[in-house]
Chains A and B, each alone.
Chain A
Amino acid sequence: MRTYLTTASLLLAATVFTAGNALAADPGITDTEVLIGDVEPLTGPPALLGVAASIGHKIAIAEANNAGGINGRKIKYVLEDDGYVTARTIQGAKKVIEVDKVFAMLGMSGSGQSIAVMPVLEKAGIPTVIDVAPVKFLWEPARKNVFVVGQSYEEGIIHLVNYLAEKNPGKKWGLITQDDDYGITVRDGFDSVVKAKKLNVVYSGNYKKGQQDFSSDMLQLKDSGAEVFLAGGIIAENIAMMKELEKLNLKPVTGIFWPGRIEPVLKLMGPAGDGIYAVDYVEPFASEAGKAFLDKARPLVSEAELKGINRYTMTGYAAAKVLIGAIERCGKQPTWACTISELEKTKNVETGVMAPISFGPGVRFSNQKLQIMRADAATLSFKPAN
């Protein structure tokens, strides 16, 4: 009897000891729950992307929870607002990792914010999938625990300018960009095609972030005789530019970039937005895949959240699907090491909202396939362009 009790006590102690170690090493996971953290701009103008991305995360989480969770564990989502302020992103990430003790991270705000928070993520070693603002610095050099779903801004611009250059040979070009890291990336992408294709650039403007009146800029564009125009604004800026062009009775072939490719923009641009080209790696909502995604989302989110859906919801959804899949593949006792290893093994994961997602050994960037789409003012939608 004594031997039996001793053995039982030793086994119990070993179990408690091992379990204690596992909990200490891998926070954010209990027998019933897995915590996933996120920091996004939920207030201020960039909330347009932060709120939408978080809705995408919520849709993927609700979908997984409705199917029984991750191997029986329900997913709990911990969301922090950074107001698009870098210091608050760092503070928020630290809070989510150290105080809330989440198991994995998603999203991570804008490009500048995710770059700034990288040391925190690296030091913590927490599995992270970034989906809002893919910029090269996030995957070059590759960090063991940080994965990025999307396509680089530079590649996006190169793809768009190449497409427009092929469709409009010999035309005069105009470009305007924002005076920040986003604008520099757009300009770098544009310049690389200008060099390669020897494009004739007759107007090159640079506006200060927050500028709302583009009357003199567009007048300069008109005066330059530009026939193809790359509007390097984000949302409100592109709307203001297109309205100015309408006022000036000017209709150049216009291309915009994916941060501004959201359907409400077309309503605000009115007829001026008809026919503008855009580049993106997520499906337009007017496509079959886009409609299917909305059908899927409808029962999983509130009415208010449904109104907040845009392309960032798709990027958020895809990233969350990839992360949830990786944790799931780790079986009953997921760990950070296993999740990172499974993320690395991600191969052709179908999300329905973009091309299949893959990572690989040392590859932390999914390098999504790009497509060109065109605005249709009549239906207020973007449709794949030929």
Chain B
Amino acid sequence: MQYLLQLLISGLAIGAIYGLIAMGFAVIYKSTGLVNFAQGEMTMITAYIAWTISTTVSGNVVVVSLGAILGAILLGLVIERVVMRPMLGEPVFATVMVTIGLAVILRSAINFIWDAYPHSLDVGMGREIVRVGNIGVRTGQIAVIVTLLALLAAIWAFFRYSKIGVAMRAVAADDRTALLMGISATRVHALAWAASSVIAGIGGVFFALSYDLSPAMFQLGLKAFPATILGGLDAVLGSGLGGLLIGITENLAGGYIGSGMKEVAGFAMIIVVLMIRPFGIFGQRDIERV
């Protein structure tokens, strides 16, 4: 039982990180109809920004958090304005290719701006181990699960009740009609990129806190992508829950079947789920444009 509990807790912790990044994928898809293949790289850049603040400005958790959020907003806005906006109206295939190119550039930027060494993100908390009986969990892992749940609730309320959230849903449903209703699609797109960068960036910062920061971190995007497919590419909340499901499945497979199955389990799961529900567990509409 203890073995199972430890697997579940660890699975939830890593799954929460996948979930946050998966939500980043979904926010952009929901608002722009685009799959951002640079999501993992954007996550990594935000984590590196947090690390830079912690080592050069202050290691205070509030300063690092605020700095990282501002950095992520700026990153999302710059990418949207400089790279994505000129692609408006272009074929989706070309736009997706641009995000792939962006991913390669951001990945290489790590070596040019920072270095290839792994680093630890120290904000004075998150690394302590809490033990309940023989089960150990780091405080950062508890925090990321709580953060994901809080964000799920906040995002549900945002899309449900806020004016901007409703505008984003309108643009996603039909951008031309939304435009006729006075909604600025470009503003909504910019907001989506900024929000996606922040949500995924939070996942990246928690990953750096619980594990470490390294140029290989972009691979989190590859792990989170199945989560968003599983939850539904257009379902922001579903993507978050998809992350938790993938994390738990991976850990149970790794713990009960074998190490080699860990990386395969998540993908095996999405194959099965997509056979039954092609739009993902929480997806609601046909995915045509990717």
Q: Which residues of A contact B (CB under 8 A)?
A: 42-48, 51, 176, 179, 205-208, 210-213, 215-217, 219-220, 223, 235-236, 239-240, 243, 246-249, 264-265, 267-268, 307-308
Given the interface pairs A47-B215, A223-B3, the reply to whether A212 lies near B220 with Cβ below 8 Å is: yes
Segment among B174-182, B233-241, B252-260 that sits at the interface with chain A:
B252-260
Contact partner of A268 (CB less than 8 A), chosen from B112, B212, B254, is B212
Q: Mark B1-37, 1 if CB is under 8 A from A, else 0.
A: 0010011001101100000000000000000000000
Contact A235 B118, beta carbon cutoff 8 Å:
yes
Q: Is the CB of B260 within 8 A of A179?
A: yes
B116:A51 contact, CB within 8 angstroms: yes
Q: B residues within 8 A CB of A236?
A: 118, 212, 214, 216
> Is B251 in contact with A215, judged by CB distance below 8 angstroms?
yes
Known: A44-B111, A207-B262, A264-B117. A216 touches B7 (CB 8 A): yes
Chain B residue with minimal CB distance to A207?
Answer: B259
Residues from chain B with Cβ under 8 Å of A212 in the complex: 207, 211, 216-217, 219-220
**How far does the alpha carbon of A43 sit from the alpha carbon of B214 in the complex, in Å?**
12
Are the CB atoms of B138 and A307 closer together than 8 Å?
no
Q: Is B134 engaged at the interface, CB distance under 8 Å to the other chain? A: yes
Write the residues of chain B forming the contact surface with A, with a CB cutoff of 8 angstroms. 3, 6-7, 10-11, 13-14, 107-108, 111-112, 115-120, 129, 131, 134, 136-138, 207, 211-212, 214-217, 219-220, 250-255, 258-260, 262-263
Q: Which residues from A are CB-within-8-Å of B6?
A: 215, 219, 248
Nearest residue, chain B, Cβ from A216: B254
- For the complex of A and B, 10 pairs with smallest distance between CB atoms: A216-B254, A215-B10, A47-B116, A205-B259, A216-B255, A208-B263, A48-B116, A247-B136, A45-B216, A213-B14
B258 adjacent to A267 (CB under 8 Å): no
Please determine whether B215 and A45 come into contact, CB atoms closer than 8 angstroms: yes
B212 with A239: CB separation less than 8 A: yes
Q: In the complex the two chains form, is A45's CB within 8 Å of B254's CB?
A: no
Instruction: Determine whether the beta carbon of A247 is less than 8 Å from that of B220.
Output: no
Supposing A213-B10, A213-B211 touch, asked if A44 and B107 sit within 8 A by C-beta, the answer is yes
- The listed residue (A219, A235, A249, A308) touching B255 by CB distance below 8 A is A219
Chain A residue at minimum C-beta to C-beta distance from B7: A216
Cβ contact within 8 Å between A216 and B116: no
The CA of A120 and the CA of B3, in the complex, are separated in Å by: 52
Residue on B nearest A246 in the bound complex, by CB: B129
Q: Are B131 and A249 closer than 8 Å at their CB atoms?
A: yes
Most chain A beta carbons < 10 A, residue from B111, B116, B138 = B116
* Chain A: minimal CB distance from B128 (Å): 11
Cβ of A210: which chain B residues have Cβ within 8 Å of it? 216, 219
Which of B115, B137, B254 neighbours the largest number of chain A CB atoms within 10 Å of its CB?
B254
Other contacts beyond A215-B6, A236-B212: 13, CB < 8 A: A207-B262, A210-B219, A216-B255, A217-B254, A217-B262, A220-B255, A235-B214, A236-B118, A239-B211, A240-B212, A246-B129, A247-B136, A264-B118
Q: Which residues of B contact A308 (CB under 8 A)?
A: 115
